[in-house]
Structures are given as C-alpha cells and as structure tokens.
A and B are shown apart, each in its own frame.
Chain A
Amino acid sequence: MSLKDLISPFYAWERALEKPYTINKPIDDREGADRYRGFHVNDIEKCIGCGTCEEICQNEAIDMVPVEGIEAGNGDSGLRPKIDYGRCCWCGRCVDVCPTGSLGMSNEYKWVTTDPEEFRFIPGFDDKPWNNEEKGYRRDEESWLLAPELHKMPVVEPDIRKLTFEEMALGYDDDLALDEAARCLECGLCVETCPAHMDIPEYIRAIRENRLDDGLKILYESNPFSESCGRICTARCQYVCALSHNGEAIPIRWLKRYITDKTADQKNEILNTNNNVPESGRNIAIVGGGPSGLSAAYYLRQYGHSVTVYEKHEHLGGMLRYGIPEYRLPKAVLDREIQVILDSGVKVITGISIGKNVTLNQLQDQYDAVYLSVGAQIGTGMPIDGMDTPGVQIGVDFLDRIASGERPDLGEKVVVVGGGNTAMDVCRSSVRLGAEEVQVLYRRTEQEMPANREEIEEAQEEGVAFHYLAAPVSISRNGNKLHINAIRMELGEPDSSGRRRPVPISGSEYTIEADTCIMAIGQKVDASFAKSSEIKLTRWGTFEVDTDTLATNIPGLYAGGDCQTGPDDAIRAIADGKKVAYSINKFLEGMN
C-alpha cells in the first residue's frame, strides 16, 4: 500500500459538483427520440381492421374491437386495435407488419393515470394527447415484414396467343403457388367481400400445408364452379386484399385454380360426390343450367332432393359456356366441372325452352319448388340509327357463335363498343379471329371502365387500341365498309353509380371506318315466359325477390342469378345458387 493509494480515492470529489443526469431527466419534460417506440397512434380512417397487428403480437396485447362510427364494409372489418399496455412490450412489430401503414408509435412515453383500466385503449379513437404526434416509430417500406410482390401468372406471349383460342394462362407450379400462399395474412377481409363467402384464408392455408384434398373440399363448400372461377372470376376479393394497400394482392383466383388443377382427376373421390344422401322425396325444377342453376342443383342434391335442370341450349354452363371465350375458360375444363355436379345425381333436360315446350305453370304443378335462373342473355344494342346495318353485331350473340364453334370472318377492322368484361372478351376474340385492327370505344375514361384491370392490360398487349371518351351516334354502310359516326365525350357530374356521367361535346363528331362493329354495352333478362304467371318483375325487367331467401311473390317459386340481379359476374350467380338451395330446403322442411 502506498500513500498514493490512500490519497487517490479523494479524486471522487472532482465529480461532486457535476449536474446529475439520471435523476433529473424524467422530471424535466424530456422528449422521446424521433423514432422512439412510445404509445401507439393509429390513423383510424386508413386502418382496415385486418388484425395483422393482433396476429403478430406475441404478448397478445392487441384485441380487435368494434368502434363506434366505423361500419364493417367492403374491405374493412369495422374493427380497430385496442392495446393493453399492461401486456405491450413496445417492440413495434405491430407497426412493422401493418399492411396499410396506419399504425405507428408516437414518441410519448410519459402518461400517468390512477385508473389501470385506462391503460387499455384504442389508439387513434380514444382521445389521447399524442394522437396527432408526428414523431415516433413508423415503418418504412424496407422494414415492412410482409411480402408485397406478386409472382405473375405465367402466360402465353401476346404474339402467340393472338393466333389461337387456346387457354393463355398456364397455371402456377408448386413453388409459385406455395410462395403466393405464404404471402397471405389470413385477415379474412376477402371472405366478406366474396359474394359466395368462400373460405379463402382456409384454402390458401391448405395449399401452404400441402393439403390440397382439404382445399378442394373447402372450395366446394361454397362454390361448385371453383375450377371455372379459378380462371375467370372477377375476383372482388383481390380488390380488398389487405396486401393490396401497399403491394400487390394475393392472386386468390390463381390459387383456387391451382387446387382444382391439381385435384381435377380425383374430384369425385375427394368430394365423395355420389354419397348416396337419403332421398327426401322432394322434386325441384331448375330453369336454366348456368352457374346459378347448377350450383343450386348441386347443393339441393346435398340435401337429398331430386333435382331436374331444364336448359334451353344443347349444353349446360350458361354464360360460362356461351359468354366466355375458350382462351379464358376452356370448354373441357367447364365440362369436367359440370360433370362433378351431374355425378351428384342431378337430372338434366336440355333443348327445352320454358314458355315454348313447357309452361312455368306446368313446372309449378309438377315440382315442389322451382328455381328460375335463366340469366340475362339478351344483348342490348344502342338506340342509334343503323343498328340493323349488316356488319353490326351484338356482343353476347357474337360470343355465343364463337362458343358454338363458328369462326366468322370479321374483316380487317373491328370496332367494339363498351367497357365491360364482355367488351374485353369480344375485342380479344376479334383479335384471335384475325382482325388486324381492333379498337374499343368507351364513353368514359379508363379509370371508370368496369372491366378487370388485368383484362384491359392483356387486351392492350394483344394490340387492341382503346379510345376513351367516345361513343357512336349513328352507323351507316358505305360500299363494303361501315361508317361509324362517333362523338367525343367529356365527364360531367357523377351519376347514381358514382361514376362521372359522360356528356357529348357538340361539334366533335368524327367518322370511323370499319368492317365490323360489335356492341357490348349490356344485357337484359328475357322474362317473356313468365308473362302468364303472377310473378312480379322489377322495372328493369328482372324478377322481384326477397333478397334474403330469393323467394318471389309466388310460394315455391324462386329466382336468382343474373335474371334477378341484372347482368353480373359468375360468382354472384353461384352465391345465389347456394343461397337458394338453403332457402328452398327450409321451405320444403316447412311443408313436411
């Protein structure tokens, strides 16, 4: 021991007058750092209530709860995260995973209350002083814990597919399907949006877990046209996918197709289609063998009722067969799918028109219940001069002819009028029929076009030209060419559909020369067979029903699908088929 060792400790005094650091700071109003992970903030309007934050929270600190003033709706569960700060560990994983980026953390960390219950609150909804705090932890694109990028469906190159009606989408292989299935958050917003409420997260999970048999069963619980829908569904579900807010939606439709493609040969075994359900002894007639009628038939068979489908055409399938071209939905696929429905014991009478060969009243007498699903098969033209000029065709009739095997010569130049999916089918079929120049006239802009974005893009790839804000006003024939007089439009006030109304610009008329003009602007219901009946129609000529049960005003008579809703997509019609099976069964049980 030296003297130095005895004196040295007194150096402690050199710090005696230092300002304390650790004690004073919490008392001072010290602001958290710019990326501090403090109390949560949530942009309630931006949040969609997907619950991914709840899912990732390993402390189970987050509960999704209903919030006053926020209604559940398309793509919004109506729930918002409520956070229990007795459980929260402030790790911020909920922020990193949030699909919309609405959830964040403020840099506020000091808050005192005597009531422990107050430490459970809904950020952004419950009034807190930090609700508008800009500072704090937010996720950036790099730190997002989800996978926003989509694996595109492999398709035949435009130059090749233009020449043929062969199916253009090639389908996912196992790796692509697994990768895509792994992107799913299982939030279930899609289920609510799907008209048939298909259990999408569950069948995607089945893909992830390589349980394709289960996947097929899940599909058939709500949709016996899953194989077709896996190709041509309008996929409303994908528009509300939580991932689509910052990335690309899960390709739900292609995943559905993946399951059905993989199990196509064993469907009957997996579904136990011919399962010998005890016969109920009840007979049901279904008028119209389209997606709605056949879906109803399939589910009614599951209840054990005897079902007979009356179909006007030679083949079943309705608009799926006669309205959708081969390159999107091959007839062979449709046939094998319908066969599964028939294998469940559904009887079919084709080539019979109700009203001509047999009356509706006769059916009502003969059967315990009748379901009308005749579709909206009459294509409408435009109220303009020259609609009857040779070379002017109606879209659905044109597609019907193609589906029946005809390959008409359209000439070099084709003009298609309309902006829906039928217009897309028509213009793309025209390309495949050899037309050198195909143009689409649409009276609004691309933004308002009802056709699927994908369809529009693929048509453009195939060389279809789009002319927006234009509509024909008259058509005449000049030699061997059609002269289509068109007028330019501008957008005015929004109409009842919320889309801006097109208003003609006077003096802007111009003429387009073409060989063929195809009108694909709408369809309507042919309800003439029901004239002799007491059945009520709406002012649009569709059947009037109770939307919960699809029952018309006549007991035992039901109507659904396009003939009830007006022209709509297949999944809507399928959903009606399932719904009506349930309500007819209820009705028949009531008769017992």
Chain B
Amino acid sequence: MRSKNSAVINETNRIGVLTPEGPQTALSWETVLPPSSGLDLESGKYLKIWHGPQHPGVTGNMALELTLEGDIIRECKTHVGYLHRAFEKLMERRKYIQCFPIVCRICVPEPDPNEYLFAAAVEELAHMEIPERAIWLRTLILEMVRVAFLTMGLGGQAGSFGLGPIGQWAVTHRDYLLDLFEELTGGRVYHMYILPGGVRRDLPEGFTDRLESVLKKIEKLISSVEKVMFNNAVFKARAKGLGVIPPEWVVPYGITGTNARAAGVPFDVRKNNPYLVYDQLDFEILTGTASDVYERTSLRKEEILQSIRLIRQIIEHMPKNGPVRHKLPNVLNWKVPAGETYVRAESGRGELGYYLVSDGSEYPRRVHVRGPGYTHAMVVLEKLADGQSIADLAGIMVSLQTCPPEIER
C-alpha cells in the first residue's frame, strides 16, 4: 500500500476553503506584518527585557525581546538562533538512511512524525510499497507519541500558570509512555522506529495489554486535570479570553493544528489529506470557538482522549501478523530516483510537512521542513503578546505549542 501523501497539493485541500465562512481572501501585508511600534524608548516610560532563551516559560530555546510599560507588553520581538544545527543542510551531506537520526531531533517531544514524513517522502520517490502491518504500526506509534506530546504539553500549560502538580503528573504519565516506547523501539525519546520500507520491529509480546493499562492511567489523569485545572477558578480567570487568535488570521498566517481548530477552522491533515490508515479510523475533527488559551488547552485535552480512542481502534483493526518492513537495498549506496515531493502529516502542533528533492544520487538534494512552530512562534506570538501582561506571556506561548527546532531547521 502506498503512502497516501500526495506529491501534488490539491487546491481544494488548502486551508482557505475550509473555514466556516468559506474561502478566505488573503489579508494585505500591512495587516499581516507587525506594525512599527512607534514607541518613544527615550521617554523613560518603557523598559526592555529579555524573556528567554533561558526561561521556564519559553518552550524550547528562543528569546523574546519585550518592551514593557509597567507590566504590560507594548512590543514583543522574537529572536531565534540559539540552537541552529542546520538540520536541512546537514541532510544534504548525509545518505538517506543517515538522515533519520537527524530528523527526529527536529522535535524532541514528538520525533516520530518527522521520521514518518522523511520515510514517506523517500518511499514516494523510490516507489516503494510498505507492508500493511507496518502502516498500522506507524499509525499506532504516531498516535502514541501524540498522546505523550499533548500530555506533556498539558502539564506545561498548567505550569505556565503556576499549577505545579499537574506538570509533575503529566511528566509522570509521559514517562509511562516512554517506557512503552523503550520496549517497542529500544529508545525512550528518540525512537528511530520508522524507516523507509516499514518499521524497525514488531510489537513485543503483551505490548498491547501494557499499552491499554497506560491509556487507562492517562484517562484517569485527564479526569483529575479536569477538576484541578479546567474547573479551577484561577485558571479560568487567567486563560479565558487570553491570546485570542481570530479565525481570519488562520489562512494568511498559515496557522494549523489545534491553534486553528480552536479558532473554529476544522482542519486536520489526518482527515483532510488522509495518510496511513486514518481514512479507516472513525474520528471527527474537534473544533472550538473561543480561540483563547483556555479553549486551545481544553481542545488539546479532548484530543488526547481522541488519540486514546484511535489507539484502541488501531489495535483492534490492525492485521494480527505479517511482515513489518520491506527489504531495503544496500543503504550505503542507495540512490533514490530523481524527483520531488511534499508530504504532510498532522503533528501535535499542527501540519508538519517535508519537501524532499532527489537528484538521483545517494544524497538528498534538498530537504525542507515545514514546521507548524514557524508561524506560530515567529509571527502569531508577537501579535498575541501585544498588550498582554508579562505574567501571561508564558501561558500564551505554551498555548501555541511552539517548537524552536522547527524554526531553525
């Protein structure tokens, strides 16, 4: 079965047509770009401070240059460059198989979509079929890692508002999942499970039972979080109405994932551009309306439960046995036929895409990673921070689920 990613971006699948109001027209550049602050910095009214790169309220390694008036942010500029490893350029000097230890590092908490997309792109160019069971196993690990990522994100969101215990619970529950990853793939964080042609190994004995017990624990966690966080007067007071993304920003800024869905835009690559076995699974796109920090967090909580349901469906429907990988040629001399492709998948942060060009040699000619964090962190954050209290900035940033390595590729 071929990867369901298409090299051609179908016009009807563009985000624009999927908004509730129908097709959107792009906004003019004046409204898209942050306005010039026009602040008189010499007036003594303002204070410039750096929020990050070392700051617990910053996701990953990036810095925000803030101009404050009292504790109100009057201007926010994002600064990146603290972890630039030139992932894309490095890959041009690596054989295809050697790229896998690189791509997984583009998102530490959720590495598998990167592995999947790079493999899918290579398979597409090499016209490689992958075994049925491998397709299901890939879907399984992608959903597992989504749960792990969103669970940790939930803890991070709580932490950004000072709700410490939830962060600890979340990290613990992610650890239960990491134990399962360790068992399945041999690695806790960087799984390197997906390879061109399939996956590295089949499920170990009794794995699904252990997975089910962890899923139950996470469901129980969610019910605790429901009480302690979502019904918490302080959290409600601070998160509701904070960091509202207007639906009309979604198309011009390229906002995807939960950030777009919380704004009422029903876009999910799993549904709109089904890949792997998502077209055989029963699920609906979850959307919100308020589009604030509370809504996004709440929606992510619902998506954890959705992914848990998906994992159960996958385990129920996947072929019980069969090969898990297609034999590769000698990977050290593997020449992938010339061509180019763009493949996309729904990561926990939004649409992740890989554009891969092969010139027919043993090395990729060009790899471009379309990380959802790019727009969310670089542009949307600057806009949302404007006029907010500095105390809420961490909450806004975490609610966007930004991931700096996706920016500094």
Residues of A whose CB lies within 8 Å of any CB of B are 1, 4-6, 8-9, 11-12, 14-15, 20-22, 25, 32-37, 52, 55-56, 58-59, 89-93, 96-97, 105, 137, 142-143, 145-147, 179, 181-186, 208
Whole-angstrom distance between the Cβ of A373 and the nearest chain B Cβ: 39
Residue of A25, A34, A142, A146 near B183 (CB, 8 A) is A34
B183, A5: Cβ atoms under 8 Å?
no
Within 8 A of A (CB), among B198-225: 200-201, 204, 224
What CA separation (Å) do A370 and B186 show in the bound complex? 66
B182 contact set on A, CB distance < 8 A: 32-33, 36
Whole-angstrom distance between the Cβ of B201 and the nearest chain A Cβ: 7
B190, A33: Cβ atoms under 8 Å?
no
A-B pairs, top 10 by smallest CB distance, nearest first, are: A58-B98, A8-B231, A5-B233, A37-B186, A11-B227, A91-B101, A182-B333, A33-B183, A145-B331, A33-B182
Residue of A25, A58, A145 near B101 (CB, 8 A) is A58
A1: nearest chain-B partner, CB-CB: B233
A-B CB contacts (within 8 Å), total count: 124
A91, B204: Cβ atoms under 8 Å?
no
Within 8 A of A (CB), among B207-263: 224, 227-229, 231-234, 236-237
A92 contact set on B, CB distance < 8 A: 186, 192
B190 contact set on A, CB distance < 8 A: 89-91
B333 contact set on A, CB distance < 8 A: 181-184, 208
For this complex, 26 residue pairs linking A to B, each with C-beta atoms less than 8 Å apart, are A5-B233, A8-B232, A9-B228, A11-B224, A11-B227, A12-B166, A12-B224, A20-B172, A22-B171, A35-B201, A36-B182, A37-B186, A55-B332, A58-B98, A59-B101, A92-B186, A93-B97, A96-B200, A142-B323, A142-B327, A143-B325, A145-B97, A182-B330, A183-B329, A183-B330, A185-B330
B100 CB within 8 Å of chain A: yes
Whole-angstrom distance between the Cβ of B188 and the nearest chain A Cβ: 9
Residue of B169, B183, B228 near A8 (CB, 8 A) is B228
Question: Interface 1/0s, chain B 318-347, versus A by CB < 8 A?
Answer: 000001110111111111000000000000
A21, B186: Cβ atoms under 8 Å?
no
What CA separation (Å) do A36 and B181 show in the bound complex? 10
B204, A35: Cβ atoms under 8 Å?
yes
Among A1, A146, A179, residue most surrounded by chain B Cβ atoms (within 10 Å): A146
What CA separation (Å) do A15 and B220 show in the bound complex? 11
What CA separation (Å) do A93 and B286 show in the bound complex? 39
What CA separation (Å) do A582 and B187 show in the bound complex? 55
A55 contact set on B, CB distance < 8 A: 332
B187, A90: Cβ atoms under 8 Å?
yes
B229 contact set on A, CB distance < 8 A: 9
B186, A56: Cβ atoms under 8 Å?
no
What CA separation (Å) do A520 and B276 show in the bound complex? 64
Whole-angstrom distance between the Cβ of A25 and the nearest chain B Cβ: 8
A36 contact set on B, CB distance < 8 A: 182, 186-187
B204 contact set on A, CB distance < 8 A: 34-35
Residue of A15, A56, A89, A143 near B201 (CB, 8 A) is A143
B14 CB within 8 Å of chain A: no
A105 contact set on B, CB distance < 8 A: 186
A90: nearest chain-B partner, CB-CB: B187
Within 8 A of A (CB), among B94-128: 94-95, 97-102
Given contacts A11-B228, A58-B102, 9 further A-B contacts (CB under 8 A): A4-B231, A5-B231, A8-B231, A20-B172, A21-B176, A58-B98, A92-B192, A145-B330, A186-B332
B175 CB within 8 Å of chain A: yes
B101, A12: Cβ atoms under 8 Å?
no
A96 contact set on B, CB distance < 8 A: 200
A146, B331: Cβ atoms under 8 Å?
yes
B387 CB within 8 Å of chain A: no
B185: nearest chain-A partner, CB-CB: A35
B98, A56: Cβ atoms under 8 Å?
yes
B183: nearest chain-A partner, CB-CB: A33
B233, A97: Cβ atoms under 8 Å?
no
B100 contact set on A, CB distance < 8 A: 91, 93
What CA separation (Å) do A5 and B102 show in the bound complex? 45
B70 CB within 8 Å of chain A: no
Known: A1-B233, A11-B228. A93 touches B329 (CB 8 A): no
Residue of B95, B186, B232 near A137 (CB, 8 A) is B186
A8, B192: Cβ atoms under 8 Å?
no
A91 contact set on B, CB distance < 8 A: 100-101, 190, 192
What CA separation (Å) do A21 and B173 show in the bound complex? 9
B81 CB within 8 Å of chain A: no
A147, B228: Cβ atoms under 8 Å?
no
What CA separation (Å) do A69 and B290 show in the bound complex? 72
What CA separation (Å) do A293 and B181 show in the bound complex? 65
Known: A90-B187, A137-B186, A142-B323. A14 touches B330 (CB 8 A): no
B165, A15: Cβ atoms under 8 Å?
yes
Whole-angstrom distance between the Cβ of A89 and the nearest chain B Cβ: 5
A21, B175: Cβ atoms under 8 Å?
yes
Residue of A1, A25, A56, A182 near B329 (CB, 8 A) is A182
Within 8 A of A (CB), among B62-107: 94-95, 97-102
B237 contact set on A, CB distance < 8 A: 1
Whole-angstrom distance between the Cβ of A138 and the nearest chain B Cβ: 10
What CA separation (Å) do A283 and B176 show in the bound complex? 83
Among B95, B172, B186, residue most surrounded by chain A Cβ atoms (within 10 Å): B186
A97, B332: Cβ atoms under 8 Å?
yes
Whole-angstrom distance between the Cβ of A463 and the nearest chain B Cβ: 36
What CA separation (Å) do A35 and B169 show in the bound complex? 27
Known: A15-B224, A35-B204, A92-B192. A56 touches B331 (CB 8 A): yes
A147, B187: Cβ atoms under 8 Å?
no
Whole-angstrom distance between the Cβ of B405 and the nearest chain A Cβ: 15
What CA separation (Å) do A55 and B101 show in the bound complex? 15
A142: nearest chain-B partner, CB-CB: B325
B169: nearest chain-A partner, CB-CB: A15
Within 8 A of A (CB), among B118-147: none
What CA separation (Å) do A15 and B222 show in the bound complex? 13
B97 contact set on A, CB distance < 8 A: 56, 93, 145
B175, A56: Cβ atoms under 8 Å?
no
A35 contact set on B, CB distance < 8 A: 183, 185-186, 201, 204
B102 contact set on A, CB distance < 8 A: 58
What CA separation (Å) do A56 and B232 show in the bound complex? 53
What CA separation (Å) do A419 and B166 show in the bound complex? 79
B175 contact set on A, CB distance < 8 A: 21-22, 25
